[in-house]
Structure 1
Amino acid sequence: MRRRAIWGVSLLIGVLAVSLPVGARAEMARWDLDPDHSIIEFRVAHMVVSKTAGRFMDYSGVVEMDADAHRFKTIEATINTASVNTNHEKRDAHLRNVDFFDVEKYPAMTYKLKSYKKTDEGYQALGDLTLRGVTKEITLAGTFNGVTKDPWGNTRAGFTGEGTINRKDFGMVWNKTLDSGGLVVGDEVQIRLDIECIKAKKP
């Protein structure tokens, strides 16, 4: 009698699994970053009294996740450092030289997720940022903004993330002292990510 009961429960679970809609099943899938609808930007103190903002224009990335269960296995990104853009040609040229990104020697920076945990506000992600040949752990506070279908049959997901790094940790030590005693460029760099990605279609 007990064997029959166990067999009956197993059969019921199997039937439910088959009958559940695809969106309700756990699925670890690949999602590719959509650079046309994403922003990777930064802000840093300038002359003490204001901040300069910039962004990167060329990058790629991939997320491996189960969007329904909000489980993440892989988040990786590669950013072309020469694509830095602060809307000021002379300043961008300076950022590309050896004082800052040194793009000829280090043409890319990378990010790889190591771990994450759920918080009251969203998620806290710990990952490795490699910049100018230096790898440091950074923490990003993020939110998962959900999943939607676009008019062309793609499944899209969105994220936001924020964090702070110290540029000197990555060998960016250039600065000048103002007559007032302050510095031209701050050490702390605020990072803001608005990421949209598209679920890869199965072959």
Structure 2
Amino acid sequence: MLFPVNISTVKIMTPMINFYYPMVTGMSNFLLQQKINCKIFNFTKKFILDLKYLDMPTYITGSYEIKTNERGVLSFILSGLGDFKGAHPVNSVKSLNLNIETGKVYKFNELFKKDSDYIKIISMIGEREFKKQYTDLLNYEKYKGVKPNQDYFLCGSNLMIYFQQYELGPRPLGFPYFSVPSYEIENIIDEKSILGIVNPAIP
């Protein structure tokens, strides 16, 4: 599948929730489409629940942004805010990365060849890129590299790594991220993974 999949917007509207998320439509395989949309809905539902602050009434708003929709790969992020009338609302960003032809959701560690030293390689790239982008605020003592379950999304053929608010520094830092050039990691990419699919030149 080289063409983008059709995306429709679904709105969750309750007295305390105003949230938009994507839904796949128009697939010839309706059962597969249902499977994919079920995963998207469950992912969105968990994301919304995580924005709720303890047991306090929390007004939750959010939306999505498609990052990749090509070659049978769909990668998108959800951005949300949970306002409980405190000093600082809860902010979060999460991503879902799917193979549309199989319905499989790919975790970060599944993008790479088994036994490859992907943690060390990408962590070093992250340290280099952070020093280029962030001269202030980012706490390098907190940066311990990437993890097997690292947050990521695909932007075209590029691998984007990001961290949650407060994870590497104070609130004004936002959600720090860095891009991993595909040519630097082509030897460790699993060609059958979604990262391999969007990089068809990978040997």
TM-score, scaled relative to structure 2: 0.24
Write 1 or 2 for the structure with the bigger share of strand: 1
Question: Which structure ranks higher in relative contact order (CA pairs < 8 Å, sequence separation ≥ 6)?
Answer: 1
TM-score, scaled relative to structure 1: 0.24
Write 1 or 2 for the structure with the bigger share of helix: 2
* Bigger radius of gyration among the two: 1
